[in-house]
Structures are given as C-alpha cells and as structure tokens.
Structure 1
Amino acid sequence: MSNRRVKVYEHIINIWKAELKPMSRKVYSLISMNPNEKFLSTLSATKLFDYWYEGIHEDYKFLIDEKLKHIEFDDDIEIVYPWTDICGNTRWIRTCARMYKKFENKSVFIGYQQVVPQIYMPEYEEYKAEYKINVLEGNVTLTMCTHEAFAPCTLNKTISYDEFLRSLFKNLLNDRDKENLKNWFADSAKIENVYQYGTRTIIYPKSINGVVRYIKVTIKATIINNNTVDEFIILAQDIDNSVRRRERSRFLVRLINNLEYMLGEEGKSLAEEDQSELLIREFHDALKNEDFEVYYQPKYNPIKHRIIGAEALIRWNFKKRKLISPDTFILLFEKNGYIIELDKYVWQKTCEFIHQNEIDLSISMNVSMKHLEYPGFKEYIESLVKEYQIDPSQLCLEFTETAQYDDINYVSDTLLDLQYNGLKLSLDDFGSGYSSLSLLKDLPVDEIKIDKSLVDSLSTSNDKAIYILETIAQMSNKLNVTTVVEGVETQEQLKLLRKIGFNTIQGYLFSKPLPAKDFLELLYKTNYNLKA
C-alpha cells in the first residue's frame, strides 16, 4: 500500500515576510528562488509589495483585499490567482501565508509563493465516485460519480472486475503500484482478513485535466456471510485541498521557526533573545498591567442551535502589541511555578466576567496539576464564588488526563469537596493518554472532554475511531457523565458525531476562542437573536 506524503513546497519561487498597517503595506524581506528576479533586492519594502500587487489580474485583486482584511492571528490563508511579471509573462500563482505576530498598529506575515502548473480548480474537492463490487459474480457497478475522470463506465452500468481495474487506474500508477493495489483489493475479500481489512484506505496522486490532485480510495466490506465477503464498496474521493491545507500549515510553522533569522527582523524580538528568560522576566509586569487576556470558546449544541457553555482560555497580549499563544508559555510557567498566579488570575477574571455580564452558562476553567495539590486551592475557589455571588454550578473545573498526580487520594478528596459545594468537574484530554479509565474510576467527574486527536482520525472510512467513540458515548450514558467533543472542524465530523450520539461540540466549526466582547455578541445573537 502506498501513502505518499504531499510536498506543498514544490515549485516555490520565493519566501517572504510582510507587514500590513492601516495606511501602508510592505514586503521588507524576501528570498527569491528565481535568478531572473535579482532586481527585486534593489526595491524598497513598499515598492516590493507594489510590484507583487500590481501584477495581480484586476479581477482577482478584490479577493486579495478581502483575505487580508479578515485574516486573524495564527490563521493560514491560501490565494490562487493569475499574475503577470515585469516582462509580461502571465502565470498562475499560489500564495500561502500565516499571520504570526499582531501588534497594536500592524500585523506581520510570513509566507511563500509557488507556480501552479495549470489553472487552479478548487471544485475538484467535491469530486467523488462509489463502486459496488460483487465478489461472487466478479463484477462492478458504478453507483455514484461526480466527475468523468472517476468513471470507468456510465452510471449504474455493470462491468467486469478486471475491466474496472484496467480502466480506472490506467496511466495513474506504475506497474508495481498497480499490482500492489490489485493485491490490496483482493486481500479485502479473503476470509482471514475480513475484520482486519474490512475497511482500508490508500492515498495516491491522480492527474485531472493536467492538474495533479490527491485522491483517497477506501474499501469497505458491506455484505459478509459466514465470514466471507460477498460484496464491498470502493469510494474514490478527491481530498487534495484538505491534505494540502494540513501540509501547508506544517510548512508555514517550519518557516516561522527556522527562517526568521534568514529573513531578518526590525528591532529586537522574541526570536532574537532567549525566549524563556524574556517571558519569565516580563511575567509579573504583564500580570500587573493585565496584558493577559481571557478568551472564551463556546460549547455548542447543534441540535438546539444554542451555546450551552464555554471554556476560558488565556492569551498573552505582549506589551499590548501582539498576541502570544499559550503553547509558548504554559509549560514554562508550570515548571517554574508561575502557573499558580496565572491560574488565579484567569479564575478571578472569569468570575468577574460572569458576574458583570450576568452570564447564565457554565464556564470551564483549566486547573493545573500543581493547583490540585496546592494548599488553599479549594478555599480560594470558594472565596471567588462568594465574592462575585456566582451560582457554583456555573463554574466547571477542567483538569487534564495527561497530568501526573502524586497524591491521588488528596486530589480526589479536594474535588469531592468542591463538587459537594456545587461546582462541576471535567476530565480534559480524555483519550490522549493511558490513564483515562483509571482517573474516571478514581476521581469524581461530571463531564469528560474527548481529545481532539480522536476527532482528527474520525471519518466514514475509519471504523476503529468510530467504534472507540461509540464505546465512550455508551460508557458516558451509563455513568451519567456529560460528554463534550473538542476540536470539531468539519461538517463530516459533526455528522458522524451526531450519529454516534454526541450533542455538545467545541471547535472551529462553530467558533474559535473569542475575546470577551466578541463572545458576548455571539452568545446574544445565537441564543437570544439580540445584539450585545
């Protein structure tokens, strides 16, 4: 079976860093792969941006403007457009970028441009076909098809299995891969492989009208009699856009981490001095100046179409100029103990937010393992509830499944006391480690949050992921525990999760983490059809 890794960096012509301000746009660093563009190094930052922008076809400039206007911190963008160089040569260009720094008056991007061999046609993502294979009769019926490139025959027509293999995969794979694929199909019908290979997937490149796209082919047994496969289906689906998005994001992260020093920087930054020392040194001033901001990510019920809760998440607005992701500093502060002060800050701000805005939802707050074993933790939480006159059930304490607890009995007693006093308890990252069931047995829990890693592997072709999630759903119902599914990003995931029985989701499909004001606007609009 072949599983080829996509190389999104093929045909790259330059790597660049740019800054956007309200009244100016600049590309102030550029590495060009084209020897014919040496003159670019002589242009000023403003002229360099203008050279690129003026080469864009007029019908596509609005697309560029809209993308740049609405991009958010840490977002990736991809734009494909016809571009004409100084010599009058027109090519299709793909520009990929990420905003990785956001200051008060400007945004900083890093990205790359590559030549697209043919006109880009994003509608390919919808192309798919389904074939029903009758093993006993040795024939194939085309039951569904949205593009002729996937059609070995007309719709609902039946052809022989050998003819199907010859026509569908002609000129797509080399002889060795064709033989492997044929054997792979054959394995699916063998008695000893019914359960191991009842569903299998292969990804391979396919040329459609001269454009190479990545196709996922899935085999799934549909009729099994006496441990013998009598019928199975093959689903061929274009997944090129989603695969390239994933690889593009990885490549942009590598650019940000490894090429910053090559592209240069204006002034001193986090990348030019020891990041850990700087963050530690600035921590207490940031706490005092309230540079740490609490964002809220909604928990959503797709059946009732209502927000039923939220999770409080910390962001560092470094010197009120740029946002720093918590991934950058949480582990650092857990190691040096600053997490105690930071957690207290988040809890206090969250309680203040609930009180001031008369929030009638449950808000989850993350609790580090250090706090669960810290003397006075329970008393501090209870004091916040009393000070801000909050219904205790409006606070849900999330503790992670991956944390290591030195004294599980002490932690359990502390959580039981808080639960007895009305607070809700949530086991976060469920399924990401090895201690999920043990903690669920030993600790009082009102809610479990299924880790994003399980959701990422969820698809109609991944029976194992579906079986695991079905088991979690059944177990939760028997234990009378609420289940929240994190990291839901696609309609396909949502459809499968609802079919399994999950009714509370959290993820970018509905909303990313939002500043308090934006969260209130979304809450009022979604639940009450009102403006904040």
Structure 2
Amino acid sequence: MSTPSDTQFARPQIDARALLGLYDPADSVDWGPIRAAQLQAGGALALFLFAANLVAALAVAFLFASVTPLWQLACWGGFVAAVSLTVTFRRLTHRRRDAGRADVGEVRDTVLEGVALGVIWSVPSLLFASGAGPMAALGLWIALSILMVASAVSMAALPLATMAFLLIVGASSAAAMAINASAALAAAVLVYSALLMLVCFMRAKSLVVIRANEIALLERDETVSLLLRESEEDSGDWLWEIDVQRRVVRASPRFAYSVGIDPGAINGMPFLQVIAGPTWESGNFAAGLRTLADRLKNREAFRDLLVPVYVDGEERWWEMAASPRFDDHGSFIGFRGVGSDQTEARRSADKINRMARYDTLTGLPNRLLINEALGRAMAEADKWGSRCAFMMIDLDRFKAVNDSLGHPIGDRLLGRVSERLQQLVSENEVIGRLGGDEFAVVMRDATDSARVERLANAIIERLSVPYEVDQHTLYIGASVGVAVGPRDGRTAEMLIRSADLALYRSKDAGGGVYHAYEPQLHMVAEERRVLEIALRNALANDELHLNYQPVVDAVSGRLTGFEALVRWTHPELGVISPAKFVPLAEDARLIAPIGEWVLRTACEEAASWDEPVRIAVNVSPEQLHNPNFVTVVAQALSQSGLPADRLELEVTESVFMREGTGAVQVLDRVIDLGCRLSLDDFGTGYSSLGYLSRTRFSSIKIDRSFVQSASKGVREAIAIIRAVVALAQSLGMATTAEGVETEEEHRMVEGLGCSKVQGYYFGRPLPVEEARALASHERRDHAAA
C-alpha cells in the first residue's frame, strides 16, 4: 500500500506559479523545505556568477574602450561590481543560514536581484553600442550571450530571478541589434533568449522534483529508523565483553556508539577507562564506578548497577549487568554483560523526587524536605554538642488578601514572599514552605542566639514591606516562633511542636513579633487541649448555664431587659472563665452549637417574664455566616412563645470584616422576623459607618473601655461617646453604655446622652432565679406606678 510520501512526486504536477515563487499552493506538498533547497542551490554557484559578471564587464570595457569615454565605462563597471557583489553576498547569506525551511517571500524577493542585474547589463546595449557599428554590436552580443548562459546555469534554481534577467538583457540586446545591425539578427536574439528562459524553467522544475523526492525518501527512512529503534529498545540496549585484563573485546557497534568511540578503536581499550571517560585521568570516580571496579576485581556477578558515564561532556546513567566467564577448564576468561541507557528514566525519577520534596508554587523545599533537613541538623547538633534552631513563620493578614482579591493574587504574593525570604538566608539556613501561608527555616548552627534573634527580626521586617502585585499595593506582616534544639525538643517532631507553640504566642500577641519557646507554653497548650476535650462534652453533660445581667434606663433607672451570658462550671476543673472557653469554642468550631443552646435557653426563660423586659443574646460571626441561623431563631421564638420584639441579638463589628459570606443578608432576615439588633463593642473593631446605615440596628453599645476612660477625664473618650450618641440619635437608635460601675460613671454617661446603661453599679450577672425575682419586682413596681 503506497503512502503520500511514496507517491506524491511519482508523477510530478508542479504548478508553474508555485515553481516561480509567486504563491504556495494548498496541496499535500510541503514547499518549505523545497524553497530552502532553491535558495541553497542559488548560493552554491554565487561566486561563479560573480566571476562571470566581472569577466563579462572586462570584455565589454575592452570592446568599447575606443568609442566610449573612459569615465562612463568606469562608472558602469563600478555599478556592475556593486550589484553583482550585493547579489553574491545575499546568495551566500542564504547558504550559510542552513535553514531547513523557507517561505515563498524569500524566493519571490530574489526577482529583485535578477532585475537589478538585467538593468545594469542593458546599459551597454542601449548606450555604448549606439553608433558603434555592426561589429561592435555583434561582439557585445557574444559577450552577453555567454553571460546569459552562465546566469542560466548558476541561477536556474531560482527561475523567477533568472528569467527576469534573461528577459531584460535579451530585449535590450535585440533592440541594439535592430538599431545597429538588422531586424533578422534582433529576431534571432529574441528567439535565443526565449529558448534560454524555457531551458531555465525546465531545469528549475527538475531540481524541484528531485528535491521533493529526496524529502519523501528521507521521511520514509526516518519512519523505518524509528520503527527499528523501538524494536531494539524493547530489549537490552547493547552488549559488552572484556577479557582477563579487563580490556574490551568484540565490542558491539551500539556499545561503541553509546560511549562515543569509533568501533574500530574501542577494542583493546581498558573497560574502566572507556566507562570513566574524562574522570579517568583525574581519578575522581563516582561511587557507582568504584562499585563496578570492585565487582570486576572480585569476579562477582552483578545486575541493576547504576553507573554515571560522561559522553561528549554530558552525564548519562547506565544500568549494567554482567557475569564472569570461564573456559572448559574452569579458568576465568573475562566478563560478558549487557547495558542500557537509563538517563531518561533517571531524570524522570529525579523530577518526581524533586516534585515530592519541593513546593510547586514557590520552588522552595516543602514540608517533607524541611523535616529531613531538620533531622540532619539535629543529628549534627547532637554529634558535635552544638545547637540547631527551627523557625515557623506565619503571614499576618494574608487571608484578607485571598478573600478580597482572589487566590491567583494570593499565589503571586506567596511567590514574592519566598523571594524575599531566600534573600535573607545563608548557607547555614534552609528555608521552605510548609503549606498555605506558613513557612519555616532550619538553622544548622544556632549556637549564637543573637544571630537567631537577628534573623527572626529581619524576616518580620522584610516581609512587612508593602508588595506591588498586579497594580495592587498589599500590606501583610509576619509572626515567627522559634525553638532551639536539642534544648526545646530532642526529636524533629518535638522541636516543630515547640516552634508551633511559640508561633501561637506571637499570633496571640497581635502578630508582627517573634517569640522563642518557653516551657510554660507547653503547659498552656496542654491546658487548652484538656479544656477543648471537656468543652466538647459540656453541653451533653449539662455543665453550661446562663447568667443574666440587667440593662436599665439611664434616666429613670428602670429595668428594660437582661443580657444572657453563658457560664461553664466543670465538675473537676471548677468555674472556667468565659475569656478562656469562648475563644476556644470559636477555634474548635463549637461556638455554633453552644450559641444555639444559649439562644433557645434564653428565649424559654424570657418567655416566663412579663413584658416589657427584653432578653439580649450575643451572636458570634460564625453563626451569622450560616444561612440556617434564621431558621434557628424562628424555631427558638416559636417553641418558647417569646414575642420577636422582646429578643435582641447582639453582634460585634467583626462580622462585617468578611464580605461575601451573606452575614448582612442573614441579619436582614432576622430583623424581618421582628427581632431587634444591637451593635456590641462599637468603636473597638472594624467601625464601618456604612454598615450602620445599611443595617437596621436598634441600638449601639459603647464599649466599657470608653466609659472607664471618660470617667478619668480622657477627652478623646468623652468626644467619642458624644459622637456615638449623636450618630445613634440621628439614625434613630438607642445607646447603651457598658461597664458602668459607680454612680459618677452613671451620671456621666447620662449627661452625655446615653439612653441605657449596663454594669456592676446596677447589678452583676445574676443566676436565673434572681433574674426572675428582679423581673417580677420590676413588673410590680411598674403596675403600682
């Protein structure tokens, strides 16, 4: 069965326009290599064409020296030399380029060369031969006809340029013959020129057909070679054999080719010298080569032995196997073995190994390689009685970048961070990325504690400099935790744990600092772990209860409601402060079930009180980021029978820091149920006035820190309270001052315009029975009034 490569030029149908270089036809023939061959052939006889032009120019000058001014001949000769030299240089440039393909434009542009030569050679016929007589015209024609033949021979591969030259020179010569000789001679010149043009076209066509068939044969040979190579590579790559003196005998051509040595010269060479290559003279052998030498020396069979080999300056990896050979008498006569080139497999394995140990985003060592580096550093420190160190680095405010600008920007920012970190470390440190926005540094020698401190501070300072990423100016920071081995951990795992605890302390301190590990950090972590385990069972074991802190009218002192506050009493650990277990519940994702329990319990209790006493319940951001929270509120109101307007939900400003989570929509739906909404701890966090205008808050709670500062006469705190009161009044909201503990503070916040107050002056958080009694007393006082 024939293929296109076999048959496409069997009966060539060459388009004349394509042959001349006027266009590339849309057929199965690939004209790129053919165009390149045309240019190469044109350059092959470029010097011959240049010599022919010079010889013809000298003949013309000799012919017309007596009838033409010498300055004209000199000027014309100079032009001939310049044009022919330019054409020669262009042809040689194409030849030296050694390109495998050329486009149609490159071939088409050669017509300018033919036109330029034709124009310059038409000058003698049209200028010098005028009035010179028939013999001079005949002599000129003889010189030009020889030049035309030489051009047709040297430029036949580029028919468009050649035919343009022949046409111009032939037409000008015919005109000279018609003027100076006879019309018959002019007609003969035209016929001669036409025949030369036809011969040139046919020769160019033959050259194209030959080149096309060569390309087809080459493609077929490459296909056969590939098939043979695949068949050979399915088995051993090559065989080798050595004698008792470990010299190569009967080397196979494939073996000689593999080591880059002529097959005729390799026999008799020392086998190890052949394998060692350039390292033979220096004696700096690789471990695999030494193992091979030992096996050969001890006459031991071996297999799957990887040996590095240098061939033409490139490192290759061979897998070799061999067995010793013995003659009929049992005497050792050498080795015979097989080898195969495993370079690509080795490179693939190295690539996989790198991917397993390096982070694909930053190119830094990953957690696996960092652990290995730390293990080696600790082993060295233990061996020499020195110290090593491990730093954990966590980026501050990086999550905000991901949430607001997207992960692609975050990934590019991590790349910039890794670049800065690499600029800070020396050969003593290994830096890597543990994952997310966490990085780590292994210090092999940490005996100088001041150096450890300087590096930690340098990391924080360098990473805190603003970043320019995709026209965004990004501000982040870094927190660092440091542990020194073996003091802070005898194993890599223990040292990493210690550094992690130190990092937690840096984060708890607000970030942007570094802390070294201290033993009490482990105690704090252990306490936290025990508390978390106990907290997970607190609800099921009925260990949580609610206290209720009164909220009163600032002017009349009348009770308006209670704030429900969760408390935890563990049977063994005793009373645990909310400052401990509430943040722990948020970190452990327990705040949602605890918050739901508080809401339902508070609604059931408040339903037993007489109106108009309200109940306020704190709601965490985690609860509001759950769309099902509205259903939880609706069920709590329905099951308890509490009117919706007597339930007030208190949220902090932190709920508005995460945009796109639907928290604002959840609040709007809760308000639509009829519940009231209060903004707690106003002024201590995000403080977005935009959310005050878009969210229907019923009241604003002023944080106790402002109340205490104002009671001490701090003018800024007084100004802030006045501003908040004015803002709330303009928006139709009430204001509640928290943390009022004395009569003076009460009078102060009343004078500043606060509508409600809350604090120890009016009552501490009360157990449920006392809260009920206070609510009943308030109802009786209200009825008596």
What's the TM-score bracket when you normalise by the shorter of the two chains? 0.3 to 0.5
Q: What TM-score do you get using the length of structure 1 for normalisation?
A: 0.46
Q: What TM-score do you get using the length of structure 2 for normalisation?
A: 0.32
- Whose radius of gyration is greater, 1 or 2? 2
In terms of fraction of residues, the more strand-rich structure is: 1
